[in-house]
Amino acid sequence: MEIEELFATIQERLHASPEESYTARLAAEGEDEVIKKVGEEAIEVVLAAGRQGDQRLVSELADLTYHILVLLAVRGLTPADILTELENRRR
């Protein structure tokens, strides 16, 4: 799965019923809750990177990536915005 495909799925699920979709439920709780989840997942990444092994790290990075993509979607941004910023920094 590519990031763009995952992001498209997230965008679709934002319009789903909160009873049927975790993504829709999280977004319905508001941007502050999405931000809170990003923070929680970031902490879990740091902890996993410490001594929990590579598989745990990958799992937590997947969770963080998903929640970052939800935050982007809620804010009306896209992964391309991040890539543009990184490209600008490269120069």
Distance, in Å, from the CA atom of 48 to the CA atom of 60, rounded to the nearest integer, reads: 7
Give me the percent of the chain exceeding a pLDDT of 90. Answer: 97
Distance, in Å, from the CA atom of 41 to the CA atom of 68, rounded to the nearest integer, reads: 9
- Give pLDDT tens digits for 17-58: 999 999 999 999 999 999 999 999 999 999 999 999 999 999
The domain ranges of the chain are 3-81
Provide CATH code, domain 3-81.
1.10.287.1080
3-state secondary structure at position 20: coil
